Amino acid sequence: MPQSLRARVSFGLRRFLSLLGLLAAAAAPVQASVPTDVEHQRVLLQARVAAVRDAMLVQQNLRADDPARSDRLAQWFNWPNWMNWNNWNNWANWGNWFNR
């Protein structure tokens, strides 16, 4: 196929697909006010985390703003080896950056 013809076919195809995308977007129902499945899952996850925190705080008689609450959470969770975890800041900052 001559180069110019190929370019024209490619251009036409892209225009067609672009138009198709616009039509599909226009035809899609507006859902802005309807919670998506992901939003639903996110709220459930937040609720689960809050429930665990609440239970731990109550059982340990801790205040919600106790600075040691994550270590107390680990203690309560019966992972005593997590206590005295003093590298949290380093590890949190490093994340996964020490590869290999």
Partner 1 sequence: MYASIRWIARRDAPLAAEALLRFDPAEFIPALKTRLLILQPTPFCNLRCDYCYLPHRDDKARMSLDTVRASVRRLAEAGLLGDSLTVVWHAGEPLAVPPDFYEAAIAACTEAAGPQCELSHSIQTNAVLIDDAWCRLFKRHRIRVGVSVDGPAAMHDLHRRTRNGHGTHGRVLSGMAKLRDHGIEFHAIAVVTADTLPHARDFARFFVEQGVREVGCNFDEAEGLHGESSLGGAEERHEAFLAELMACASDDASPLRVREFIYAAHLIGEGLPRYQWRGEALPFNAQVVPFALVNVAWNGDCGTFSPELLGQPSGAFDFTLGNVHRDALLACASRPGFRRLWSAIARGTRTCEGGCSHFDYCGGGAPVNKWYENGDLASGETLYCRSMVKRPFDLVLRAMEEKAGVVPAQAVA
* Number of residues engaging partner 1 in binding (CB under 8 A): 50
Task: Give the SS3 label for residue 71.
Answer: helix
Binding mask of the shown chain, residues 11 to 50, with x at each position contacting partner 1 by CB under 8 A: ---------------------x--xx-xxxxxxxxxxxxx
Count Cα atoms within 13 angstroms, Cβ side, for 40: 5
Residues in 46-75 at the binding interface with partner 1, rule: CB under 8 A: 46-56, 59, 69-74
Q: How far is the CB of 15 from partner 1 (least distance, A)?
A: 17
Asked if 53 and 74 touch (Cβ cutoff 8 Å), the reply is: no
79 binds partner 1 (CB under 8 A): yes
Which parts of the chain are beta strand (E)? none
Asked if 74 and 83 touch (Cβ cutoff 8 Å), the reply is: yes
Which residues would be at the binding site for partner 1 (CB under 8 A)? 32, 35-36, 38-56, 59, 69-74, 76-82, 85, 87-88, 90-100
